[in-house]
């Protein structure tokens, strides 16, 4: 999460006519050729949804930049910057002040808007970008005049063109002059909804929320599925998953959680199948049920948080047996990551502390003492013949509950 200390702070001395806005640069979208406008439209829609509760604002696109202009004096720019940092499809963004396209106004705005940063810094650099070629000065002269002006106003400063404490960026565009500091990193990736839809099998652990985040970053709109086994799993375990998805929704947007009763299936597997195959057979049932749910909502894939070799059910032979039960492609964005890498992302997206709450999910129920790490599919299918799989699946599907997850 981005903290306020990383955001440029404006000075009370800023003139009222100099309005603060957000300038947004897209990333991969520029490579999309003839489809670029479709991706940009999805990004604009996602931004509108993300910012709609903060007040009135104007959103427009020009010169490879998206402009967010507050129309309401109560519009919270700190919160807006934070929310923009969580929107996939954005490579970088800046808080900027807009002023008239003349050097007197530009110099005064640069001094006032970046006053706090310049006053606290030791070094600075001015960078000018002149996309409006009718402006009377070229970029090097803008830099020279602005540098001299700021050195006169802040006598303690020195120029450092290689590693300055503060960047002073002056952009001369068609609609005005924009002054801002160093660009802030966006969330990257592609706009959610631009890459199709998939069903995320989410537990209460560390991995699956990270897997959902990684797929949303590639533009995938997620539907979520969680399996519960009362009385072996508690209501708190379910609420833990809801909390994880609410936190994740800052990146993924609104979603629906489908809660599947799984107790009877697990009990039947435990009573009728070899203990060392319990986890594999359980996961195959999950895949079959998830495929049915996903098909009802036009999802093109399933998503799991598996990583090769992390547990016994995540060896290559075990994964092959699991996938044989799925009727859709299974995406595993964490497949080659180690636990430290996964934990690092979970901390970044603020799900780690929720994931480690001590409420167990159904994946820990009836855990075999010695799980088979190299299962053979024919042996798994033979063990499943002792079960009335279709009846068990139908009963589980009929008991599904839906819970909306809303990004507020």
Q: CA gyration radius for the chain? A: 27
Q: Is 5 helix (H, G, I), strand (E, B) or coil?
A: helix
**Which long-range CB contacts under 8 A does 3-9 form with residues at least 24 apart?**
4/78, 6/184, 7/78, 7/81, 7/95, 7/184, 8/94, 8/95, 8/113, 8/114, 8/117, 8/180, 8/181, 8/182, 9/116, 9/117
DSSP letter assigned to residue 218: B
Q: Which residue has the tokens 């002056």?
A: 170
DSSP letter assigned to residue 276: G
How much is the pTM? Answer: 0.89
Residue 11, pLDDT score: 40
**Whole-angstrom Cα distance, residue 10 to residue 18?**
11
Looking from the CA of 64 toward its CB, the CA atoms found within 13 Å total: 10
Residue 380, pLDDT score: 95
Q: What is the DSSP string of 61-129?
A: EETTEEEEEE-STT--HHHHHHHHTT-TTEEEEEEEEEE-SSHHHHHHHHHHHTHHHHHH-SEEEEEEE
Q: Which residue has the tokens 């954005």?
A: 90
Q: Where are the domains of the chain?
A: 4-187, 197-405
Residue 9, pLDDT score: 40
Residue 236, pLDDT score: 92
Residue 3, pLDDT score: 36
Q: Which CATH code fits 4-187?
A: 3.30.2130.30
Tell me: the pLDDT tens digits for 181-193?
A: 999 999 999 999 9
Residue 10, pLDDT score: 40
Residues of the chain short of pLDDT 70, as ranges, are 1-17, 408
Contacts of 75 (CB under 8 A, 6+ apart): 54, 55, 56, 57
β-strand partners of 218: 190
Q: What is the DSSP string of 164-190?
A: -SEEEEEEEETTEEEEE-SPEEEEESB
Residue 408, pLDDT score: 64
Q: Which CATH code fits 197-405?
A: 3.40.50.620
């Amino acid at each position: 999460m981005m903290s306020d200390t990383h955001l440029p702070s404006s000075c009370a001395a800023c003139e009222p006519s100099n309005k603060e806005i957000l300038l947004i640069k897209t990333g991969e979208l520029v490579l999309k050729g003839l489809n670029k406008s479709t991706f940009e439209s999805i990004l604009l829609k996602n931004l509108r949804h993300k910012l709609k509760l903060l007040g009135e604002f104007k959103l427009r696109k020009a010169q490879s930049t998206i402009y967010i202009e507050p129309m309401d004096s109560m519009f919270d720019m700190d919160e807006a910057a934070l929310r923009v940092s969580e929107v996939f499809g954005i490579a970088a963004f800046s808080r900027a002040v807009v002023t008239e396209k003349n050097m007197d106004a530009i110099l005064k705005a640069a001094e006032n808007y970046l006053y706090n940063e310049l006053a606290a810094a030791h070094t600075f650099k001015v960078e000018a970008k002149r996309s409006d070629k009718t402006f009377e000065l070229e970029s090097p002269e803008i830099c020279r005049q602005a540098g001299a002006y700021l050195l006169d106003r802040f006598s303690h400063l020195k120029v450092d063109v290689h590693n300055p404490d503060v960047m002073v960026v002056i952009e001369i565009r068609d609609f005005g002059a924009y002054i801002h500091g160093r660009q802030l990193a966006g969330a990257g990736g592609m706009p959610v909804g631009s890459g199709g839809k998939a069903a995320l099998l989410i537990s209460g652990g560390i991995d699956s929320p990270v897997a959902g985040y990684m797929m949303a970053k590639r533009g995938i709109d997620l539907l979520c599925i969680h399996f519960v086994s009362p009385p072996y799993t508690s209501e708190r375990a379910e609420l833990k998953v809801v909390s994880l998805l609410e936190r994740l929704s800052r990146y993924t947007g609104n979603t629906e959680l489908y809660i599947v009763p799984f107790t009877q299936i697990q009990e039947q597997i435990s009573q009728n199948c070899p203990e060392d195959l319990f986890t594999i057979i359980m996961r195959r049932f999950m895949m079959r049920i998830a495929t049915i749910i996903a098909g009802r909502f036009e999802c093109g894939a399933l998503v799991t948080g598996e990583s090769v070799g992390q547990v016994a059910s995540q060896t290559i032979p075990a994964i092959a047996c699991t996938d044989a039960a799925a009727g859709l492609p299974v995406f595993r964005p964490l497949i080659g990551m180690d636990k430290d890498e996964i934990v690092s992302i979970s901390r970044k997206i603020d799900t780690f502390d929720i994931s480690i709450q001590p409420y167990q999910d159904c994946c820990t129920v009836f855990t075999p003492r010695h799980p088979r790490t190299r299962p053979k599919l024919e042996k798994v299918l033979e063990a499943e013949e002792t079960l009335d799989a279709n009846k068990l699946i139908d009963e589980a599907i009929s008991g599904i509950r839906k819970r909306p997850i809303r990004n507020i």
